[in-house]
Amino acid sequence: MTSRRVFFANARAAGLAALALTALALPTALFAQEKTPTLGVIERLKPAFDELVPQDARVERLADGFDWSEGPVWDRKGGFLLFSDVPLNTVFKWAEGKGVSVFKKPSGYTGSVARGGEPGSNGLLMDREGRLVLCQHGDRRVARLEADGTFTSIADRYEGKRFNSPNDGAFKSNGDLYFTDPPYGLLGLNKDPAKELDFNGVYRVSAKDGTVTLLTKEMTFPNGIAFSPDEKTLYVANSDPKMAIWKAFPVKDDGTLGEGRVFADVTSLAATRKGLPDGMKVDARGNLFATGPGGVMVMSSDGTHLGTFNTGEATANCGWGGDGSTLYITADMYIGRVKLTTKGNGF
């Protein structure tokens, strides 16, 4: 998610307003070409990377013209991709052969008073019934989209205090929802007078009774979140340029977390490459596909950096789609995809 985007905004500010207007009018860059353009390059660091990524793989650029794309999730029933544009307060839909259309607006801020910043939805995910669940910055909650187009709040407070701006989430197989709550949706971030919690936490919402449990408040800017295939480990990204890390937490039998350890530290890379630890997904083999400096960094379950989909852009998130062997990538104003020889966890 994202006010990390402010670190990279100046380089493209001059043309952004026009591109944002294009996106609102259904982005024109839907690229109905015989061969789609490429987004960045693929960097191969370890032989194990070749077992996951074909030698002829390329990151296809499917669409552009967005302000800050985020939260890609595949709708298995409909066979299409959904993703957020956080500043535009919109969820877009991409379908093969049809391109991009508006799926839901407003997506994250339903208030009547106009505001700037990053008000829209961020992370998107599907529950066990195939319903869309949104981390809503502006409304400061996690909500479910109902069939009639209305939102139902899943969680909006901890101990009576409003969340900062829920950012990204992951469902456990029992239906419990785990999510992160940094301040990126608040105009003043940690210094915003509307901030009611004096920390940025990671939470769990019980599927049984809706109880909200604070799992940890030790991370400065908790962001992306994902489970290992056996659900014994919870990975959480920290999008802090001063501490650009991923932590791995053991998941206890009661669903709470044990003491976390640093899984990977890319603080030095963040000084020279665009992007910070952000959204991530795990494949069926336990490898992490984690957005960070340079694009999507692929890491084995022991933290070894295998290779990178270097998009050339600050890259926010990724998600599995199709039959599970396609990785969709949200990178600043772009939507990309790469076809792999591994499948996402759960496919």
Query: Mean pLDDT over all residues of the chain?
Result: 92
Count the neighbouring beta carbons within 10 Å of the beta carbon of residue 297.
Answer: 28
Reply yes or no on whether the pLDDT at 28 is more than 70: no
Helices then strands, counting H and E runs in the chain, come out as 3, 27
Reply yes or no on whether the pLDDT at 22 is more than 90: no
- Give me the mean pLDDT over the 58-84 stretch: 98
pTM assigned to the model: 0.91
- pLDDT level of residue 5 (50, 70, 90 thresholds): low
- In this prediction, residue 35 carries a pLDDT of 72
- In this prediction, residue 36 carries a pLDDT of 81
78-130: pLDDT as tens digits = 999 999 999 999 999 999 999 999 999 999 999 999 999 999 999 999 999 99
Sign of CA dihedral 316, 326, 287, 45: negative
75's tokens: 């709708």
Reply yes or no on whether the pLDDT at 16 is more than 50: no
- pLDDT level of residue 29 (50, 70, 90 thresholds): very low
- Give me the mean pLDDT over the 217-234 stretch: 98
Reply yes or no on whether the pLDDT at 21 is more than 60: no
- In this prediction, residue 19 carries a pLDDT of 38
Secondary structure of residue 23 in the 3-state scheme: helix
Secondary structure of residue 190 in the 3-state scheme: helix
Helix (H) / strand (E) containing 19: helix 13-24
- Give me the mean pLDDT over the 72-78 stretch: 97
Architecture, CATH, for domain 3-339 = 6 Propeller (2.120)
Give, in order, the Cα–Cα distances in Å from 204 to each of 213, 227, 245, 279: 5, 13, 21, 18
Q: What percent of the chain has pLDDT over 70?
A: 90
Return d(Cα 287, Cα 299) in angstroms, integer: 6
- Give me the mean pLDDT over the 5-31 stretch: 42
- In this prediction, residue 33 carries a pLDDT of 41
310-331: pLDDT as tens digits = 999 999 999 999 999 999 999 9
269-302: pLDDT as tens digits = 999 999 999 999 999 999 999 999 999 999 999 9
Half-sphere exposure of 209 toward its Cβ, with a 13 Å CA cutoff?
Answer: 2
Nearest of 225, 163, 176 to residue 204 by alpha carbon: 176
Return d(Cα 86, Cα 1) in angstroms, integer: 8
243-274: pLDDT as tens digits = 999 999 999 999 999 999 999 999 999 999 99
Reply yes or no on whether the pLDDT at 14 is more than 80: no
